[in-house]
A and B are shown apart, each in its own frame.
Chain A
Amino acid sequence: MRLNCTINGSQYSLVVNSDKPLSQILKEEILTFSENSQCNGASCGNCIVLLNGSAVLSCLVPAFKLNGASILTFEGFQKTRFCHDIERAYADIGNQPCPQCYPSKTMIIESILKKVDKENQNRITGFALGSQPGEGSSSTNEQAARTRSGVGNISTDLIAREMVMSSCKCIEISDLEKIINLAYRYRSRRRARRS
């Protein structure tokens, strides 16, 4: 089948088998693709990419689902300001994933930040739609206030659940929690400055 998609901002028109996994397509087409999966689809977590903005395991996405899709690998993501938030957090906390799982853990952190961002935006929207200023439950007010100030509500349990996808245990959950919360704060501040 012919597949038309965007990979790291560039348009591609490829002839591939309809069931070919995205990870294999990327390995063959994107020569610097950092995927070093050794599980052949058993979820080692090393092949994570952003597909239409959401983090997916590229070894579990077949070609026939990719027509018109926008794919961002770690190489592409690294050039974005979103990645800079995370890298800045690594530097400030003084710890970062090992070179082996740096791409996959960074992408997982990005997916956590997106998820929390979405949840917080929903809460703010719910507050704006559902009540007058000053009304609403105190927890909703607090939540909205925390969101505006850029403090994420990212718990260790959520992080542990997301990090199951990366089998490398090089960095402890407590440091990841600090990194993710700090990255979220940088991102929120930047968003607030821009708006």
Chain B
Amino acid sequence: MPEGLRSPTVFTPKTISEAISTKLRNPEARFWAGGTYIMSRPGFYPNPNQRDIISLSGIQDLSRILHADRYIEAGAMVTIQQLLSMGSFSFSKELYNAISSIGSAMVLNQATIGGSLCTSDVRFTMSCVMATINAQVEIRMISKSAAARWVPVSKLYDRRGNFLFAENALLTKIRIPTDSSTQYQFISRTLDSPMMNPSESVIFALQYAINQGSITTPNLCIALPDCCFYMSQDFDNLLSTLSFPITQERASRISSRLAADLRSSVRQNADMLQIERAARLLDSVLNEINTNYLAG
């Protein structure tokens, strides 16, 4: 072992309460899920000031998957690949494909649900997709009471994409509705690779229903990795005014409005190319819905 380089202590709690109490005793230690995000940061190793590690992989509660009638509940340490294996019979084809497209098999094997939701620069498709389908996560506060509450995924981030529960909470479970596949339609697209090229990639997800030619209960989420996590009730209301078939001009006007909204939401480092791509993607999706509607 190298001189002068401290080997971080690795705590391996067996329960969630033990993990929280370990964190309270060692406030500088950090929770470790899959570790893919932490280890990809520049200067991770060797680091003389490395924080101690609270490994969550030994907590069985966090690795369970429960399949209920109307939802799947998975622990935060469940890998995305495991979620897909469980959900292959419950998720709609589009949702399954959307989650599989998060990354390669290597990424899906290593990345955990909790880790991918907590990465503060919103790189993964997971956040966007889960927000759109009204998934909820259980958050336990890092305190003696360890109070737990359920929070919609859409409320985990601010508009700029900052994760709101960075140091004072532990994400323990996610609940993914499965009954929506029969009621709603779901579209998801990822442009470019959020991992390899975050400054130019766009993640788009839209859940909606069509009732007599009108869009009802739309839920749109657009993530521009590193700079924006966009969900807007106003914009969803605008989408619900659409009656298909729509004209090209109408689709373009809505896309222009999206571009304007995104411009006001993004961090300073946003690429105009990302906004252009996001708007074009919406335009293309609206036309796709239009075409499908006309085709019956």
A residues whose Cβ falls under 8 Å from a Cβ of B: 1, 15-21, 24, 40-43, 48, 54-57, 59-62, 64-65, 108, 111-112, 114-115, 161-165, 167
Q: In chain A, what residue has the closest Cβ to B42?
A: A40
Asked whether B35 lies within 8 Å of A60 as measured between CB atoms, the reply is yes
| Count of chain B residues with a beta carbon within 8 Å of a chain A beta carbon | 32
Given contacts A19-B53, A41-B40, are A56 and B8 in contact (CB under 8 A)?
Answer: no
| Binding-face segment, B43-51, B134-142, B260-268, B285-293 | B43-51
> Is B1's beta carbon under 8 Å from chain A?
yes
B196 x A60 contact (CB < 8 A): no
- Counting residue pairs across A and B whose Cβ atoms lie within 8 Å, the total is 96
Contacts of A64 in B (CB 8 A): 10, 53, 55
Residues of B within 8 A of A163 (CB): 104
Report the nearest B residue to A16, measured CB to CB: B1
Q: Does B110 touch A at the CB level, under 8 Å?
A: yes
Could you write out 26 A-B pairs with CB less than 8 Å apart? A1-B10, A15-B1, A17-B1, A17-B7, A17-B46, A18-B8, A18-B9, A18-B53, A19-B7, A19-B8, A19-B50, A21-B44, A21-B45, A41-B41, A43-B40, A48-B106, A57-B106, A60-B35, A62-B39, A65-B57, A162-B106, A164-B104, A164-B193, A164-B195, A165-B104, A167-B196
Shortest B221–chain A CB gap in Å is: 21
User: Which residues from chain A contact B53 at a C-beta distance below 8 Å?
Assistant: 18-19, 64
Within 8 Å by CB of A60, from B40, B50, B104, lies B40
When distances are taken between beta carbons in the complex, the residues of chain A under 8 Å from B45 are: 17, 19-21, 24
B37 CB to closest chain A CB, in angstroms? 9
* Inter-chain contacts of B92 with A (CB < 8 A): none
Is the pair A161, B35 in contact by a Cβ cutoff of 8 Å?
no
List, in ascending order, chain A residues with CB within 8 A of B107's CB: 165
Residue B15 CB within 8 A of the other chain: no
Chain B window 101-131, contacts with chain A (Cβ cutoff 8 Å), 1 for yes, 0 for no = 1011111011000000000000000000000
